[in-house]
Amino acid sequence: MLWKKNKETVRPAKKKDADAISELRRQAHDLHRTGRPDVFQKPFGDELEAQTRKMLYDKNGLLLVTETEGTVCGFVYATFVTESSTPVWDSRSFCKIEEIAVDKSCRGQGYGTQLVQAVRREAVARGCPKLELNVWAFNAGACAFWTRLGFAPYLYCMESRVQTADEPSAEITGAD
C-alpha cells in the first residue's frame, strides 16, 4: 500500500481491478470522444480490456488505483522514460503520466490528487527528476486540475485543418 487515509487507499493495481480500470478508461474515452470525435474512435471493447491487462504487467510502468471501502474510484498509469541524447536534445529521464481517470461519482473529492501525489512519490523514489503529461486543450477541467497541482505547459502542439475537395474554401489570416 502506498497511501491510506481513513477509508481511502492508493495501491498498486491488481489483476482483480482490470474491469474497474477498463470502465474508468471508457469514461475517459467518452469524454475525449465528445471533445474530439475526429480523433477518438467510436467505443471499443475487447481491445480496451487487452490494453488494460498489458498495463498491469508493464515493467516500465506504474498502475495505481485509489479505492474507498473496497471500491475502485480512480486509477493512474505512468511510465518511466529515459531518452538518449540526439544532436539537438540532451538525454533526459522523466515519469510520464499516460492516463488518469476518476469515476464520475467520485470527482472533486481529492482522489485524482491522491493518485498524482503517489506517482510523484514513486518518481522521487526512482530518482526521476520530473513528471510530464499530455492534456487535450478542450478539456478545461483537466487543464485546471493539472495547473492546481503545479504543472505548467512547456510545449504547445498546434494544428490547422486544410481544405479538402468536399469542404468550402477557408481563408487563412494572421500576421507574418
Q: What percent of the chain has pLDDT over 90?
A: 74
Cβ atoms of 53 and 46 closer than 8 Å: no
**Global pTM value:** 0.86
Burial class (CB in 10 A: 0-12, 13-18, 19+), 97: buried
Whole-number pLDDT of residue 4: 55
For domain 3-148, give its CATH number from 3.40.630.30, 1.10.150.20, 3.40.50.970, 3.30.70.920.
3.40.630.30
Which residues have a Cβ under 8 Å from the Cβ of 124 and sit 6 or more positions away? none
Whole-number pLDDT of residue 168: 64
Whole-number pLDDT of residue 48: 81
Cell of 101: 481517470
Whole-number pLDDT of residue 169: 60
In tens digits, the chain (176 residues) has pLDDT values of 454 555 679 999 999 999 999 999 999 999 999 899 999 887 767 788 889 999 999 998 999 999 998 999 999 999 999 999 999 989 999 999 999 999 999 999 999 999 999 999 999 999 999 999 999 999 999 999 999 999 999 999 999 988 887 766 656 556 65
